[in-house]
Amino acid sequence: MSPRESEERLMSRRLGPVNDVYYYKRSPTATMGMMVRKNYKGKEKIVIHEWLGEMKPKSKLKGLGFCKICQDYSAIEWMFAVKRCKHSFCPDCTRQHIATSMKENMIKIPCPDSGCACFITPKTCQFLLPDEVIDRWATAVTCSQSPPLDLDNYPITTIT
């Protein structure tokens, strides 16, 4: 019997059988789980518990995407995916990443996934950010791509 099975058996003797299990925090080393149990009077009890070791997602996680920034699950339809590399993040973390990058005067905003060489474009973030922010960011990208003026070959003359 594995340590997890013996732990679950001990918990079920103390608190009653598990009715539903929802995993809400995962990391490579541990998984936090919320178990809904019913006591002998039929009232539901919620127990938060941590298991050590990697656990496979249960059927309750279907339709959820995992954000590598906040280490939490969000509905897949709300996740933001970087088009080129297909990394996906929750909207709040993506907004915060873009805001932090823009405050640091970065025009080309990298994918939040570490080691990824792809960039986020203003066009892909239209549903995440206000129009003013998108316009300002798109203008900065366009201006950064235009060639600099060569003032040595075209001297400025004054008209008298």
* DSSP E strand stretches across 14-159: 18-26, 30-38, 44-52, 64-67, 72-75, 80-81, 88-89, 109-110, 119-120
Structure tokens at 62: 């279907």
Q: What's the pTM?
A: 0.53
Give me the pLDDT at residue 59, please.
41
One digit per residue, the tens of pLDDT, for the chain of length 160 reads 655 555 555 555 544 444 444 444 444 444 445 445 555 555 555 444 444 444 444 445 567 888 888 888 888 888 888 888 888 888 889 989 988 888 888 888 899 988 888 998 888 888 888 888 888 888 888 887 766 666 666 666 666 6
The SS3 assignment for 137 reads: helix
Give me the pLDDT at residue 56, please.
45
Query: How far, in Å, are 102, 122, 131, 146 from residue 137 at the CA level?
Result: 8, 7, 10, 15
Give me the pLDDT at residue 160, please.
62
Give me the pLDDT at residue 152, please.
66
Give me the pLDDT at residue 6, please.
56
DSSP assignment letter at 18:
E
Comparing CA positions, the residue from 141, 139, 135, 134 lying closest to residue 98 is 134
